[in-house]
Structure 1
Amino acid sequence: RICAETPDNQFLPATGRLDVYRKPACTSFERGAVRVDDGVREGDAISPFYDSMVAKLIVHGRTRAEALARLDAALAQTRIVGLSTNVQFLRHVVASPSFAQANLDTALIPREAGVLFHQDKVGLNLAVAAAVAQTLLAERASEGKDPFSRRDGWRPHGLTVRRFDFEYQGEALQASLTYLHDGALQLALGEASGLLAFDALPAENGTLMDLRFMGQRQTVQTWQREEVVHVFCDLGATTIIEIDALAHAGEAAHDVGRLTAPMPGKVVSFSVKAGDVVKKGQPLAVMEAMKMEHTIAAPADGTVAELLYAPGDQVAEGAELLKIATAG
């Protein structure tokens, strides 16, 4: 079952639009080595009012090993952008010792938790290289005959060094790209540095490239939505935020005391009122979405300043539910 959910966050259901929905070569609603049964198309929305399932993926093989390999390859070719899904989690399940050896029971997930959750098979270096390469390919595509349309860093003497700002898995970082005189590109990320090379490949949508960096060579496909770059390859999938510094000029460094709805849904109840002193982790509110109730907890010690909704109200994803004044 391919579902709109976030396994690394206790399988919290996800909602949103299927901006990109690409399936492996498959049959639908009939027997086949790889079969996908679904009722959605690219551009459809997954709402909070129905089940979170996007599709069923079914594979057949002559042996369990062949079926597992076929299943992993089909999951690797399933590419969804617009909302969180369990596709990568399913790849981790398929590769886990318990599932591979058919040691199946209801304790499989907690038993294999170490290899199922918070896994990043793509890695920081490849994610940064893919984001930089995508940017450069987009710039090349916009070049015209006017030499001033070029952004390749050419200058008659010296080297051009270009800075990129990213956020990856909650951590801010910087990368620098040096345009060498022989046309090569040197990408540095902290103490890691290497030549970056890439070639564009034909693609109906997104950016498809043959990417080489730091001893890795991967066929990578990317899609960018605002500042978020979605990276897919045989190793797995990840996201990285390419920060536009000018777009964020003047913004506050952080936003303190806001508690927002993790998805569209209905406010069921509040367990606090304005003026209450709360501790980090204390339950504050309950929301209902996709047939499930979700508890909103305090991120830090503080005092409830204001409740912004009432029980029974429908709220949008990201809506601020209440304000907390913190000691900091």
Structure 2
Amino acid sequence: MSAMFDTVLVANRGEIAVRVIRTLRRLGVRSVAVFSDADAGARHVREADTAVRIGPAAATESYLSIERLLEAAARTGARAVHPGYGFLAENAAFARACADAGLAFIGPPARAIELMGDKIRAKETVREAGVPVVPGSSGSGLTDGQLTAAALEIGTPVLLKPSAGGGGKGMRLVRDTALLAEEIAAARREARGSFGDDTLLVERWIDRPRHIEIQVLADGHGNVVHLGERECSLQRRHQKVIEEAPSVLLDEATRAAMGAAAVQAALSCGYVGAGTVEFIVPGADPSAYCFMEMNTRLQVEHPVTELVTGLDLVEWQLRIAAGERLSFGQEEVALTGHAVEARICAEVPSRNFLPSAGTVLALDEPAGEGVRVDSGLSAGSEIGTSYDPMLAKVIAYGPDRPTALRRLRAALAGTTVLGLETNTGFLRRLLAHPDVVSGEMDTGLIDRELAGLVPSEVPAEVYAAAALLRQAALEPAAGGWTDPFSVPSGWRLGGEPAWTDHWLRVSGADAVRVRTRGPADDAEVRVGDGAPLRARLLPETGQRITVEWDGVTHAFDHAGDWLGRDGDGWHLQPYDPVEAALRGGAGAGGVDTLAAPMPGTVTVVKVAKGDEVTAGQSLLVVEAMKMEHVITAPHDGTVTEIDVTPGSTVAMDQVLAVVTPHQGEAE
């Protein structure tokens, strides 16, 4: 590797940057991290050899600023730039700017990025190369009317897709033609905000499809190989949740045919580097696969391919960018064992997976045989809403699929992130679903089974543990005389001890009264209307507590009001029912008040004070972590208060507007 770069700038953040830095360190290459003001204390900044501030929190002024990234490379003597995935990884202008500045761009040529980044041209190009494609609209720059006409000609259901970008941003599944105009407008708005380009195409939607992608590697000397497939069918909002390699759907013949098609797609655009060709596959007929798009970058889910092939894809990106030839051919690529990856995201499953934010108060990441963690987290990390909600990936490998699944479920059970909500418990339940275990998956499985994957109630032992912690905090220190009337144990002169009330509330759930009687190490506890049960708080070990509840022992991690166990986390807040009653209910302003469901930025305001609105009418749009949430009118009425404007930054539960119902409805 005599031609290898001595210094590489990583133009990304979080777990992405940490992952790339890990390979650079192993190869003895000096790493340069970049960071915005929001990431000054981030893990990737600490792990790099050098770090450079590139601007404020807004991505447009930092991670998406080509000028500032090139300045950072010049200041640190970097000879190459690794874009990671996301941000500028598929930006042809960035690739050209790097070349113009004398830097190697560790990715494909700009012309390949442009060609495959335009989904319309990409489909036409690979079709000419003999690769089957999904039926859909043709031509770029279609107007709203032309998109509507194409959708009507194809027939619903159809999928609206941005021509630029990826990751499910701006995609809309439309089953009702009456909603086409509204969905086209929403797709354009999100595509423009995510990629700076609102060009759309429309494709036929295949019901109950499988999403399977092929990893390719291409050097600068005309050699292209594929590294097998990844199954990415478990998705929400067109975003991948669980990925695995290989797919249980494919036999050897279909795998070889899809691999050959992926190689042809890469050759058709003059591809160089690591890339992914994505296919939509009917579950009932895998041989009827169709090309969807090509991602001209390293994928989030690349670790599962690394584990089953034994190859470091980041290392091969570096080697190829340095001018090396592939040292192996297609016949030497072998898939051994099975690997499954789960994406841990800052989101609240019980509130329709809205983004979460906060400080990581306690962190416990798994380890063990066959377990790998790609993470940007550390205790004390500040997780905001400026960037994508993905925090880490937990990957498990085994000699077969059942072993890999079992190891991943156990690894997620040993994962604790306290201080913000995550989807870790949801992932464990998903991986235990019978259809996932059997391999009978499709891209709609999560939506169909969501009710069973997101528990509607917080376990009683969680409330009991929180109440015992509060009880213990109120008890006096051991030693010396204590006035028994000042101890909150319920002791009184004569008769049974009194109950102590603890009002607790978990975000997204109603408040619960938990009553304790006796000291925390030997108490009766009554959760809600349940029967009193014996419970005791056992001695703590750091941030780990053990609670015996109804004869069963439960272990929790805790930090402040946060309790976590087996991949689930709960934020228990004190709740004052008297104050809530005076305010007119649990909300800050009663049922007429519209509050922000997540911290973020108001991007659209469609109404003004005094406007008459109808139930379900869209009033505002709040965006956070690249996700839009539409705020609608709860009933017919008049907008009597509007407290935000486009661009306003809002906190979770902040009042946005008030809709006062019409007199008849109010009565």
- For this structure pair, what is the TM-score category when the shorter chain's length is used for normalisation? 0.7 to 0.9
What letter is aligned with 1:202?
T
Larger helix proportion of the pair:
2
Return closer, same or farther for 1:25/1:292 CA change in 2, 3 Å cut-off.
Answer: same
- How far does residue 208 in structure 1 lie from its aligned partner after superposition? 0.7
What letter is aligned with 1:159?
E
How far apart, CA to CA, are the structure 2 residues paired with 1:238 and 1:264? 18
1:10 to 307, 328, 352: 352
- The answer to whether the 8 Å contact 1:2/1:57 transfers is yes
Q: Which has the higher contact order (CA 8 A, sep 6+)?
A: 1
Return closer, same or farther for 1:259/1:179 CA change in 2, 3 Å cut-off.
Answer: same
Query: Relative to structure 2, which stretch is displaced further, 161-170 or 76-85?
Result: 161-170
C-alpha offsets along residues 153-209 of structure 1, whole Å, 9 cap, x if unaligned? Answer: 4445322222323345633443333339xx952223424222223312412x2x511
Matched residue, 2:531: 192
What letter is aligned with 1:157?
G
Alignment of 1:1-328 (within 5 A): 1-25=343-367, 33-120=370-457, 123=459, 125-140=460-475, 142-148=477-483, 150-164=487-501, 165-167=503-505, 170-179=509-518, 184-189=522-527, 190-203=529-542, 205=543, 207-213=544-550, 215-225=551-561, 230-234=562-566, 236-243=568-575, 248=579, 251-254=582-585, 255-256=589-590, 257-326=592-661, 328=666
How far apart, CA to CA, are the structure 2 residues paired with 1:200 and 1:20? 19
- The answer to whether the 8 Å contact 1:159/1:178 transfers is no
Matched residue, 1:29: none
Q: How many residues align?
A: 311
What letter is aligned with 1:276?
D
Query: Relative to structure 2, which stretch is displaced further, 97-106 or 157-166?
Result: 157-166
C-alpha offsets along residues 21-80 of structure 1, whole Å, 9 cap, x if unaligned? Answer: 322236xxxxx6221111232222222222111001111223333322221222122122
Return closer, same or farther for 1:12/1:175 CA change in 2, 3 Å cut-off.
Answer: closer
Return closer, same or farther for 1:251/1:65 CA change in 2, 3 Å cut-off.
Answer: same
What letter is aligned with 1:54?
L
- The answer to whether the 8 Å contact 1:201/1:210 transfers is no
SS in 2 for 1:138: helix
How far apart, CA to CA, are the structure 2 residues paired with 1:244 and 1:200? 29
Return closer, same or farther for 1:271/1:118 CA change in 2, 3 Å cut-off.
Answer: farther
Return closer, same or farther for 1:217/1:238 CA change in 2, 3 Å cut-off.
Answer: same
How far apart, CA to CA, are the structure 2 residues paired with 1:19 and 1:236? 15
How far apart, CA to CA, are the structure 1 residues paired with 2:449 and 2:568? 19
- The answer to whether the 8 Å contact 1:211/1:220 transfers is no
- How far does residue 150 in structure 1 lie from its aligned partner after superposition? 4.6
Q: TM-score, normalised by structure 2?
A: 0.43
- How far does residue 94 in structure 1 lie from its aligned partner after superposition? 0.9
Matched residue, 2:158: none
- How far does residue 93 in structure 1 lie from its aligned partner after superposition? 0.6
- How far does residue 249 in structure 1 lie from its aligned partner after superposition? 8.7
Q: Which has the larger radius of gyration?
A: 2
- The answer to whether the 8 Å contact 2:348/2:423 transfers is yes
Matched residue, 2:94: none
SS in 2 for 1:171: coil
How far apart, CA to CA, are the structure 2 residues paired with 1:240 and 1:315? 22
- The gaps in structure 2 that reach 5 residues or longer are 1-342
User: What percentage of aligned pairs have identical amino acids?
Assistant: 33
Return closer, same or farther for 1:141/1:222 CA change in 2, 3 Å cut-off.
Answer: farther
- The answer to whether the 8 Å contact 2:523/2:535 transfers is yes
- The answer to whether the 8 Å contact 1:159/1:179 transfers is no
- How far does residue 87 in structure 1 lie from its aligned partner after superposition? 0.8
- The answer to whether the 8 Å contact 2:516/2:525 transfers is yes
How far apart, CA to CA, are the structure 1 residues paired with 2:522 and 2:639? 56
Return closer, same or farther for 1:81/1:233 CA change in 2, 3 Å cut-off.
Answer: closer
- How far does residue 285 in structure 1 lie from its aligned partner after superposition? 0.6
Q: TM-score, normalised by structure 1?
A: 0.81
- The gaps in structure 1 that reach 5 residues or longer are 27-31
